[in-house]
Each structure stands twice: as C-alpha cells, then as structure tokens.
Structure 1
C-alpha cells in the first residue's frame, strides 16, 4: 500500500483519551495513513495498549522519557516519508472525515502550505467558542493542529525546540507563512478537543499552564514581532480599529451568549483583527472547503 499521510501523535499517561483519538482516526480516515504514536514513558497501560494495536500502519515510538513536545514530534517527523503529515494531540478526536478533507484541500493548490484542522473544545474554559484558534500579538491566526506537505515541514525544520512544549504550533504557523505559503482553515470542524485545563483560575494546574503559555508568548514576540512590525500597514491599522468597534457594537446590541457562540461573529472578528487575511475572504473562498486564508503580501 502506498501511504499518503503520516499522523504524528504524542501521549503520556492518558490512556482513555488516547484510545478515543486512535479509534477516531481509524474510523474517520479513508486516506491511506501511517499513525506514529510517541510515548514519553506512560505507566497507565498505554504502552501495553500501543503494543497490542501495533502493525504496518500503527507504529508505537516508545521513547520512555519526556523530551519535550517539540523534540518528540521532530524525531518522528525525521522518519516520515509520506507526501503529507499532520500532528495531533491525544486529547483530540477526528470527526466528519476531517483529515481526508484536509488532504483534499492541500492537494488543490500548491501555494497552500498548511491546512488548519478546525477544532472545537468540548470541555474547558473555551467550550462556548464555535472553534478555537487565536490571533497572535503579531496579527497571525494560529493553527492548533494542522496538516502540511512533508517536504515543506522538513525544509522549515519542524517545530522550534526553543519553545519545547507550548507555542510550538504558533511558531510553525508563522514559519509556514513567512516561507511564502498560504495558511488556510478547514471550513468545517475537523477535530473535537477535550481540553485538560482546570477551569478554576486559582488552581495550581491553571496557574502552571498560564505561566508556561506566557513564557511562550514572550519568546514568540521576540522571534516574530520585529519581522511583523516591518509589515505594519495603514490598512491593518484600519482593520484593527474597525474590529474593536465591531466587537464593542456586538457586545452592546447582541446577547453575550450569541457573541461567544456564533461562528459567523467569530469569523468576522478574526478577519478584522488579523494581519494577513483579506476582508474579502468570505467572497474569495465562497463554495470552497476552506476559508480564513492567510497570505503574506510579497514586495
């Protein structure tokens, strides 16, 4: 069999979630795939489970220790030979043939360097959002989980190991965009996400995660902020002003529940607050399986 897609999945002591993720990949993916599961030394039965399902297209990578997400994924990326590759987390669940649709999208146009697998949280503090993915301080709409050509991923060098665990996906989004490729979002939700965050902002786990994320944001700003600031344009300044006004108006005239849960409203906010998405995006992508196209303006 000629495999087309490699799926790289990291896990550590979350057997129940891992099983759900693996089962969803198998049941929801018709594209010929190889699944690599890299384990950091689980002690909850994960290793035994992986050994029981191992085969030609499900390959356990039993590292046995914590390397950091970036290095753990990169070590697997180095051995991938399929035309396309995607990364997932063990708390994801593939729905509605999401990976198949992403492969179909990226095959349509050579200029597309990454397809964001649109993700919906089913638990955690962002459960009301129609889909997740935030606009960074530099105006880039980040990709949480994505699919891209293997050759491009290797050319970029995979995940930045400076970030180790947090911010690796945001940095990769920026690298693909700055390499001159488009970054697009699947129009339909491709993944469900069982976020393992405590909703209590005073909890130790919440504070620990917040600190790690803040550190990653600082590193991201140092690396990409200066490069983006050189491309700051009058049109982007105008977009951000409009975004602030639209957001204020929405909160004033619409119910807060609708503002939080409407996919159309969220899409509008993203277009207006991001630097690389055209305000004509809804027209330019009409009838396509993707939208929210980010493209760096060439000089």
Structure 2
C-alpha cells in the first residue's frame, strides 16, 4: 500500500483563495491522503465552505475550526499534531498545488530514505495581476544539505513546496515562543533529528503574493522571531555556534532595511555578532554613501 500523506492546510480569512487551494489538492493523482485544515477563527464564511467539502468527501477532511484566533504558530501546531501520515505536505490556504506534486515527492522520498525534507520549485504570482510572476528557485541556485545548510541560509525552501518525513518532525511541533515565523526552526529541528534537505527541480506549486502576506510589520516581526530562533538554537546546538552566529549576523544586517531609522545601529550590531564580508562591505557603503542610503 502506498504511504499516507497528510496535507496540512493552515488558513485564516482566505475563503476567496481557499476553494482554489482545495481543488488543486483534490486534483492530485495520489489517492492515499488526508486533508488537515486548521482554520484560525475565520469570519468570512470559511467554516461553512469547509463543512460543505467535508460532506461531499466523507472521511477525507479533518477540520479544526477555531472559535477565536490562536495566532500563526499555535494554529500550525493544531495542524501538525493532527497529522498521521508517513509524510506531511504543508500549504497555506492561499497557495496552490500543481498536478503530480504529491506523487512525485513521495516517489523521491521513498527512493531516498536519508531525505528528511524535500522541496521543489515554485511559481510566485501576484493576485492583483499587476506584477509578473517569477520562479523561486532553479537547479543552479537550489540548496541541499544537512542542518548546517538550513541554519546558514535560513528558510530558503518555501513552506508550501516542502514535504517532511514525519518520523523526523520536531517532537514539540512549532516552537510557540516564536509567534509568527516559527517555520525556520521547525525545519532546522527536523534536520537536527537526522537526514538531509533535498531539491526536486520541477515547478510543482504556486505561491500567491497579496497584501495580507507581504505587510512590512509582519516582515519585521518575522525577523525578530528569526533572531530569537538563533538564541534558542545556540542552547540546543552549541556545537554549531559559529554558523548560528553567522545567521544571526545576517538577520541583523537585513533589519537595516526594515527599520531605516536605525540603519547604522542594525549594521553595527551585525558586524559585532559576526565578522563577515557582507557586513563589512555594507558598513563601508554606508559611510561612503550616507546621504544616498538614508533617503
């Protein structure tokens, strides 16, 4: 019998996109699936729509419909702890699967038992249609490796492209000390349980960009969560201190664009935490181009 795959959908007030997401899952050519939906207290009619799907497909859906908002990380944990499959395929309620995604990922995972995480290329598109779509990865820039690779480069895989071998998932799920951007540490800890992250060079999903998932405040808070993740990882994996501090420095350097009033302070902090060429060049550019940068 083919392995069970848990498809975990996390959603909040995305009814206008969620139907398309679910239909893309139902169109998959892989039969042994369960669809876990964790809805974070939507008020847009999502619950009624999900009940309709559940009635049309008895036994396929596992619905968790929160009465009040739990927050991003807690809602992810609702989905995580409901998964029973050999593999977990994560997807946001506004994203799409392309034909053959699940079957191709399962085939790869079954053939490569050392593979803990498997991601593929994504078509990134804009809901308003005002900007051209683009591909997230390519064979040339795709990254593969172990826990060190995931720490060094951050969350490069794209959540809705990633399939996880559940036997290596973090025992605690997503760390609830990180209210928004807990996915990176989830991937790191999965690799901390052994195995590798591998790349499948096919476009098997579509990631939707829209106003609600590109807000500057969410991006800023996400960077803060990543800094806190580094602090937590230092206690979990002290033997990886050097590479964790490198990631910490990179996150601090990135914050200079999110909070321009403290541009120089974030840059200095990055330089103090980890001496690397990128921070040095950015610091020199700041002093030689101060007026241009500070506009």
Do Structure 1 and Structure 2 share a fold, with TM-score over 0.5? yes
With over 3 angstroms needed to count, the CA separation of the structure-2 counterparts of 1:214 and 1:24, relative to structure 1, is same
Output the TM-score relative to the length of structure 2.
0.67
Q: Give the number of aligned pairs.
A: 227
1:147 corresponding residue in structure 2: 163
CA distance in 2, matches of 1:136, 1:210: 19
- Is 1:37 paired with 2:51? no
2:207 corresponding residue in structure 1: 193
Question: Deviation per CA, 1:18-67, whole angstroms, max 9, x where unpaired?
Answer: 00100000012424111011112212111110000102112221112221
Q: Which is greater in Rg? A: 2
With over 3 angstroms needed to count, the CA separation of the structure-2 counterparts of 1:77 and 1:173, relative to structure 1, is closer
With over 3 angstroms needed to count, the CA separation of the structure-2 counterparts of 1:121 and 1:227, relative to structure 1, is farther
1:245 corresponding residue in structure 2: none
CA RMSD of aligned residues (A): 3.2
Counterparts of residues 42-81 of structure 1 (less than 5 Å):
42-54=42-54, 55-81=58-84
2:104 corresponding residue in structure 1: 101
- Is 1:211 paired with 2:227? no
Counterparts of residues 149-188 of structure 1 (less than 5 Å):
149-153=165-169, 155-166=170-181, 168-188=182-202
Say if 2:13 and 2:44, in contact at 8 Å, map to a contact too: yes
SS for the counterpart of 2:215 is: helix
CA distance in 2, matches of 1:36, 1:123: 26
CA distance in 1, matches of 2:178, 2:217: 16
Question: Deviation of residue 109 (structure 1)?
Answer: 1.6
2:259 corresponding residue in structure 1: none
Counterparts of residues 101-140 of structure 1 (less than 5 Å):
101-123=104-126, 129-131=134-136, 138-140=152-154
With over 3 angstroms needed to count, the CA separation of the structure-2 counterparts of 1:21 and 1:175, relative to structure 1, is same
Question: Deviation of residue 97 (structure 1)?
Answer: 1.5
- Structure 1 unmatched ranges of 5 or more: 200-204, 237-272, 274-299
